[in-house]
């Protein structure tokens, strides 16, 4: 059941790639499921009025069953810029946990594919999958090496390794992370994953979904949409599926099977 809590920030740290890590103080709240999100607002005046959605990047249960939340932030506009000026001690209004989370993979191995800040939900997913001793890999892409978000402190649980793709070839594979995904699936030496999780901008999700469908591998996507309420009321996050039906990202997603949104059949 989502709840609105006022939680002090314990720390704000650089997380690499121009991202910030916001670590909340432990609070008496319900633990989320990886892939769920929170509507977050800082102690600013009326503009922007509405909170902004953020995936839970990491969480841990600490003393007295209190839960400590962590968010990864990339600044893109006014709301994220204001959050980016936050410092330890200020209080955030945090509504959640909201939406659907990721399910465990059906088999022994899974890959996570992140476009830029799409890496945000994957530390929490890694923590959850690592306890089941499955092999987990991360493919992460950005325009340049300087924009690759930091992932060092969850790398130890990525037993299948980490591969980077950059559009300009400044680090790792030269091309998009979806090109890297397609290339890795064709490598004879790679064991096929039982599940692929993808998070990033919509064109990237759609392209990754097509690659997964072509390879016959289940693909779970975390969708992005502008959100006003996060609870199914404002209709601001509704997108169209390939069957011309409405999909309310905040309540039916943000995590869903890719073939709910995009056809898994190749275009005629």
Ligand X SMILES: Cc1cc2nc3c(=O)[nH]c(=O)nc-3n(C[C@H](O)[C@H](O)[C@H](O)COP(=O)(O)OP(=O)(O)OC[C@H]3O[C@@H](n4cnc5c(N)ncnc54)[C@H](O)[C@@H]3O)c2cc1C
x/- letters, 167..206, toward ligand X (CB under 6 A): ----------------------------------------
- Angle between helix axes 202-215 and 177-186 (nearest 10 degrees) is 10
By a kind-dependent CB cut-off of 5 to 8 A, residue 117 interacts, out of ligand FES, ligand X, none, with: ligand X
Residue ranges of alpha helices (H) inside 7-147 are: 78-84, 122-130
- Cis status, amide bond into 48, omega within 30 of 0: yes
Structure tokens at 170: 């400044």
37 vs 151, which CB is nearer to ligand X?
37
Q: Contact with ligand FES (CB under 6 A): which of 248, 252, 258, 262? A: 248
In the region spanning residues 49 to 88, those forming contacts with ligand X, defined by CB under 6 A, are: 52-55, 71-74, 76-80
- Residue 48: name its binding partner from ligand FES, ligand X, none (Cβ under 5 to 8 Å by kind): ligand X
Q: Which of 118, 123, 145, 128 is nearest to 207 (CA)?
A: 118
Is the Cβ of residue 110 or residue 250 nearer to ligand FES in the bound state? Answer: 250
Q: Does residue 110 contact residue 122 with C-beta atoms inside 8 Å?
A: no
Residue facing ligand X at closest CB distance: 77
C-alpha Rg value of the chain to the nearest Å: 18
How far does the chain reach from its first CA to its final CA, in angstroms? 43
Binder to ligand FES among 233, 240, 245, 246 (CB under 6 A)?
A: 233
Of 54 and 173, CB closest to ligand X: 54
What stretches of the chain show up as alpha helix (H) in DSSP?
A: 78-84, 122-130, 177-186, 202-215, 249-252, 258-261
Which positions ≥6 away from 222 have C-beta within 8 Å? 35, 55, 102, 118, 121, 197, 198, 199, 253, 254, 255
User: What distance lies between CA 203 and its chain's CA centroid?
Assistant: 15
Q: With CB under 6 A as the contact rule, which of the stretches 131-139, 209-217, 225-233, 256-264 interacts with ligand X?
A: 225-233
- Find the shortest distance in angstroms from Cβ 196 to ligand FES: 25
Pick from ligand X, ligand FES, none: which does 74 bind, CB < 5 to 8 A by kind? ligand X
Residue 235 CB, shortest distance to ligand FES, in Å, is 5
**Of 203, 240, 231, 233, residue with least CA distance to 36:** 231
- Taking CB under 6 A as the rule, does residue 42 contact ligand X? no
Lay out the site mask for ligand X across 86-125 (x = CB under 6 A, - = otherwise).
-------------------------------x--x-----
Q: Which position among 143, 232, 239, 263 is part of the footprint of ligand FES (CB under 6 A)?
A: 232
Q: Min. distance of Cβ 46 from ligand X in angstroms?
A: 13
User: What does the binding site for ligand X look like in residue numbers (CB under 6 A)?
Assistant: 37, 48, 52-55, 71-74, 76-80, 117, 120, 224-227, 254
């Amino acid at each position: 059941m989502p709840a609105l809590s006022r939680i002090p920030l314990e720390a704000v740290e650089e997380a690499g790639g121009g991202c910030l890590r916001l670590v909340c103080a432990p609070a008496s709240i319900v633990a989320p499921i990886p892939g769920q999100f929170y509507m977050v607002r800082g102690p600013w005046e009326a503009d922007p009025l509405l909170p902004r959605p953020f995936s839970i990047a990491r969480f841990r249960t600490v003393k007295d069953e209190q839960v400590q939340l962590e968010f990864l932030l990339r600044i893109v506009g006014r709301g994220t810029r204001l959050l980016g000026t936050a410092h330890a001690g200020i209080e955030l209004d945090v509504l959640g946990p909201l939406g659907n989370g990721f399910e465990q993979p059906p088999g022994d191995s899974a890959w996570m594919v992140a476009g830029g800040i799409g890496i945000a939900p994957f530390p929490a997913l890694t923590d959850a999958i690592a306890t089941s001793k499955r092999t987990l890999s991360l493919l992460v892409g950005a325009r340049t090496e300087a924009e690759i978000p930091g992932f060092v402190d969850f790398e130890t649980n990525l037993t299948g390794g980490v591969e980077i793709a950059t559009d300009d070839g400044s680090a790792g594979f030269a091309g998009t992370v979806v090109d890297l995904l397609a290339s890795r699936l064709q490598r004879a030496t790679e064991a096929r994953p039982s599940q692929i999780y993808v998070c990033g901008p919509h064109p990237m999700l759609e392209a990754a979904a097509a690659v997964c469908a072509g390879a016959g591998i289940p693909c779970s996507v975390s969708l992005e949409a502008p959100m006003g309420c996060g609870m199914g009321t404002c209709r601001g996050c509704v997108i169209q599926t390939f069957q011309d039906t409405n999909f309310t990202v905040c309540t039916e997603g943000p995590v869903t099977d890719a073939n709910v949104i995009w056809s898994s059949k190749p275009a005629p």
